Amino acid sequence: MSQSKRYEGKAKIIYQSEEPEILLSHFKDDATAFNAQKQGQILGKGEVNCRLSAALFELLEAAGITTHYIDQPAPNQMRVRAVKILPVEVVVRNIAAGSLCRQTGLSQGTVLPSPLVEFYFKNDQLGDPLLTRDRLLLLELATPEQLEQLQTMALQINQHLKTFFERCGITLVDFKLEFGLDQEQKLRVADEISPDTCRFWDRAESDPNARVMDKDRFRRDLGEVESTYQRVLERVLAQIAPPLQS
Model confidence at 85: pLDDT above 60: yes
Q: Strand order in 77-81's β-sheet?
A: 4-8, 12-16, 22-27, 77-81, 69-74
Q: Between vectors from CA 52 to CA 100 and to CA 31, what angle results, nearest 5°?
A: 60
Tell me if 58 sits within 8 A of 164, measured CB to CB: no
The band of 32, judged by pLDDT with boundaries at 50, 70 and 90, is confident
Q: C-alpha angle with apex 90: 120 to 226, nearest 5 degrees?
A: 100
Is 90 exceeded by the pLDDT of residue 35?
no
| pLDDT bracket for residue 34 (50, 70, 90) | confident
φ, ψ for residue 221, nearest 5 deg = 55, 50
Stretch 167-190: mean pLDDT:
97
Task: State the Cα–Cα distance between residues 84 and 187, nearest whole angstrom.
Answer: 9
pLDDT tens per residue across span 102-131: 999 999 999 999 999 999 999 989 999 999
Using the predicted structure, report yes or no on whether residue 185 has a pLDDT greater than 50. Answer: yes
pLDDT for the residue 209: 96
Structural contact between residues 232 and 47, judged by C-beta atoms closer than 8 angstroms: no
Asked whether the predicted pLDDT for residue 242 surpasses 90, the reply is no
Instruction: Please give the pLDDT value at position 1.
Output: 40
Reply yes or no on whether the pLDDT at 98 is more than 70.
Answer: yes
| Mean of pLDDT over the chain | 94
More confident: 68 or 241: 68
The yes-or-no verdict on residue 80 having pLDDT over 70 is: yes
pLDDT at 33: 81
Please check the confidence at residue 162 and state whether its pLDDT lies above 80. yes
Cβ count near 192 (within 10 Å): 25
Helix residue spans in the chain (DSSP H): 45-62, 99-104, 133-138, 144-167, 216-219, 225-240
User: Where does the pLDDT of residue 243 fall: very low under 50, low under 70, confident under 90, or very high at 90 and above?
Assistant: low
Q: Bridge-partner residues for 13, per DSSP?
A: 8, 26
Cβ pair 59, 51 in contact under 8 A: no
Residues of the chain above pLDDT 90, percent: 87
Is the confidence at residue 89, as pLDDT, over 50? yes
Predicted TM-score (pTM) of this structure: 0.93
Q: Is the pLDDT of residue 246 over 50?
A: no
Break the chain into its structural domains and give their ranges: 4-81, 84-224
The reported pLDDT for the residue numbered 2 is: 52
The SS3 of residue 201 is strand
Q: Which CATH number fits domain 4-81: 3.20.20.450, 2.40.50.100, 3.30.200.20, 1.10.540.10?
A: 3.30.200.20
The predicted-structure confidence for 41-57, as pLDDT tens digits, reads as follows 899 999 999 999 999 99
pLDDT of residue 187: 97
| Cα diameter, the chain | 60
Alpha carbons 177 and 55: distance in angstroms, whole number: 16
Distance CA 81, CA 181 (A): 10
- Please state the CATH superfamily assignment of the domain spanning residues 84-224 in this structure: ATP-grasp fold, B domain (3.30.470.20)
